Chains A and B, each alone.
Chain A
């Protein structure tokens, strides 16, 4: 009874948000529209009695990925795009043609002779496709190997990201030669500038240098004092 109005509501929301996402000039507005698409899709999953998929949709896409996207857009301070002359004009009719084919396919599936009865039969059967228990059982029995392989894949991506983001291990200060012989670059008041590429090793090398210099100075001072006495 309420399925059709709810479907129309959330479907219209999804389509509207998707159109807004493409049409917006401001990237942040596009990102927010995309969140709208994800949330309305989650609502559609909910009406299809797949609550687990709906929750995962919101957690993974709207929660994790879009927060990251919004974060990046904010930090990079992306400006509004200015309208540029359209390149690749021939893509417009191609897009229209592809959309027409897609709509045609959907209509073909729905309007196939006998489709209505099959859809009804599918709807009558109590389905446990989207339930937590059935997904968990399937993941840990039948699809255990793909599941584990996927998790290893994600782990590899994680390791790769950390490797890329890690700072280089070569200390900049010690790079040209020996720290003991080459003093670090100091500012006018004797301060040290930390630069991108500096590591803990740089700090240690600098500390070593300071220590030896300070020791030399201190011993010189001490000998001087003793001489005064």
Chain B
């Protein structure tokens, strides 16, 4: 049993090679096996995410959560799935029938497409390694906005339309900071390929989270907003919009949106893991690469899953502990806080990279190992221990700089620095010496 777990895919490969040609196996059969595995796993995750959500919220609120179906309610998601599959698929009378039916598929397709570039593990854990992996993730997520808008519009319901409008404004604004926050990490990685980013971190044996704490925070917050999860679930705010853009959906089509949402959480967690938390890499794993190839792949896969799971737990944690933002606060956070911070992060990272490279020549401090021959782009900056120390110190100093910068930018904004602002509140053009109207109540007492 144990040996079967680590059985090499070689015998599968041999079997396939007997049936198909080498090219077909490499470009058609293996990708289909990988895609099938990923889709199955993500679908199961989407089922059990609802269970986890209910259990975690229950434990946070000192309840038990689902307990009836199976042991600890473990079969509850299956029961829910059967219910959703057999439910009637309703459509509002004056809805746009084609777009109404089509929108959930856009949501699901856009989300699942991103998994094609996420490196789950080295070797056969990568479906495809295009050299624009990160751009593809951003591109596809920007198309995913369309699903929400179209679903909201085609339902012919005011709640759904408002949810769709909110979602489009929210996702378009948070996309900007999401994309900009990745630039800093890319300056260290020097490639857009997600496998290459993991490789750059592995060759430096460091996580980019250490160089880029600010960018990680910005990326994760924007990711939560991009997924429309609480505290940014304005498009489906129950207290105002019933259920937002999917108000009119029922049965299977509703569950497709639901599946897309949980899968999109995995996408953001997976990209955050890959770019900032070292992906499948952990110290010492590369030593296994020679002799124990399958152990190496499985261990890396396990590490990737654990890192993702931590981030996904954060999602649930945030959802059940933070209150929902007001809509204007949400826009303020995106445009006045996250985007300036991510722009500052780009400048600051540029300075960091410049300093690290400049130190190489000054006072004989070696911060970069010389790459023999042609510089290998997939190996990142190739820093020495000194260089890493400088980069990490400057990265965390960037947090302080960003705090000061944001305080300066937002000093007079409405939801910041209220105590100081209240002290300075003056009514406009009231002549000096004359009291404003509000003081009459106080004088009236005497």
Q: Do A and B come from one complex?
A: yes
Shortest CB-to-CB span from B207 to chain A, Å, is 23
Verify B135–A55 contact, CB threshold 8 A.
yes
In the bound complex, what is the Cα–Cα distance between A204 and B430 (angstroms)?
A: 11
A67 and B149 in contact, given A2-B27, A207-B427, A222-B440 (Cβ under 8 angstroms): yes
Cβ-based interface call for B436 (8 A): yes
Residues in B whose Cβ lies below 8 Å from that of A71: 149, 165, 168
Looking at chain B's contact residues, is the secondary structure mostly helix, strand, loop, or mixed?
helix
In the bound complex, what is the Cα–Cα distance between A45 and B443 (angstroms)?
A: 77
Residues 129-147 of chain B, each 1 if its beta carbon lies under 8 Å from chain A, else 0: 0111001101110110110
Interface hits, A67-107 → B, CB 8 Å: 67, 70-71, 74-75
Verify B142–A222 contact, CB threshold 8 A.
no
In the bound complex, what is the Cα–Cα distance between A214 and B143 (angstroms)?
A: 54
Verify B434–A52 contact, CB threshold 8 A.
no
Cβ-based interface call for B385 (8 A): no
Residues in B whose Cβ lies below 8 Å from that of A55: 132, 135-136, 138-139
Verify A70–B377 contact, CB threshold 8 A.
no
Residues in A whose Cβ lies below 8 Å from that of B444: 222, 225
Verify B146–A218 contact, CB threshold 8 A.
no
Residues in B whose Cβ lies below 8 Å from that of A2: 27-28
Verify B142–A62 contact, CB threshold 8 A.
yes
Find B150's partner among A59, A70, A207, A214 (CB 8 Å cutoff): A70
* Residues of chain A at interface, number, CB under 8 A: 36
A59 and B135 in contact, given A2-B27, A28-B99, A32-B99 (Cβ under 8 angstroms): yes
Shortest CB-to-CB span from B429 to chain A, Å, is 5
Cβ-based interface call for B277 (8 A): no
Find A132's partner among B23, B132, B139 (CB 8 Å cutoff): B132
Verify A52–B132 contact, CB threshold 8 A.
yes
Verify A211–B427 contact, CB threshold 8 A.
yes
Verify B428–A63 contact, CB threshold 8 A.
no
Verify B429–A204 contact, CB threshold 8 A.
yes
In the bound complex, what is the Cα–Cα distance between A39 and B142 (angstroms)?
A: 12
Find A51's partner among B99, B130, B140 (CB 8 Å cutoff): B130
Verify B172–A67 contact, CB threshold 8 A.
yes
* Residues of chain B at interface, number, CB under 8 A: 39
A211 and B145 in contact, given A32-B99, A58-B140, A59-B139 (Cβ under 8 angstroms): no
Residues in B whose Cβ lies below 8 Å from that of A63: 139, 142-143, 145, 175
Interface hits, B120-174 → A, CB 8 Å: 130-132, 135-136, 138-140, 142-143, 145-146, 149-150, 153, 161, 164-165, 168, 172
Nearest B residue to A203 via CB reads B428
Cβ-based interface call for B437 (8 A): yes
Residues in A whose Cβ lies below 8 Å from that of B140: 58
Cβ-based interface call for B206 (8 A): no
Cβ-based interface call for A1 (8 A): yes
Verify B192–A132 contact, CB threshold 8 A.
yes
In the bound complex, what is the Cα–Cα distance between A132 and B191 (angstroms)?
A: 9
In the bound complex, what is the Cα–Cα distance between A129 and B125 (angstroms)?
A: 29
A58 and B145 in contact, given A133-B377, A211-B436 (Cβ under 8 angstroms): no
Nearest A residue to B427 via CB reads A211
Verify A51–B168 contact, CB threshold 8 A.
no
Cβ-based interface call for A208 (8 A): yes
Verify B131–A74 contact, CB threshold 8 A.
no
A64, A67, A133, A207: residue with the most chain B Cβ atoms closer than 10 Å: A67
Cβ-based interface call for A35 (8 A): yes
In the bound complex, what is the Cα–Cα distance between A67 and B169 (angstroms)?
A: 10
Nearest B residue to A210 via CB reads B437
Residues in A whose Cβ lies below 8 Å from that of B428: 204, 207-208
Residues 411-441 of chain B, each 1 if its beta carbon lies under 8 Å from chain A, else 0: 0000000000000000111100010110010
A67 and B145 in contact, given A55-B132, A59-B138, A208-B429 (Cβ under 8 angstroms): yes
Chain B residues near A (Cβ < 8 Å) = 23, 27-28, 96, 98-99, 130-132, 135-136, 138-140, 142-143, 145-146, 149-150, 153, 161, 164-165, 168, 172, 175, 192, 377, 427-430, 434, 436-437, 440, 443-444
- Interchain residue pairs with CB less than 8 A apart (25): A2-B28, A28-B99, A28-B153, A29-B99, A32-B99, A35-B146, A39-B143, A51-B132, A52-B135, A55-B138, A55-B139, A59-B135, A59-B138, A62-B142, A64-B142, A67-B172, A70-B150, A71-B168, A74-B161, A131-B131, A132-B192, A208-B428, A211-B427, A214-B437, A215-B434
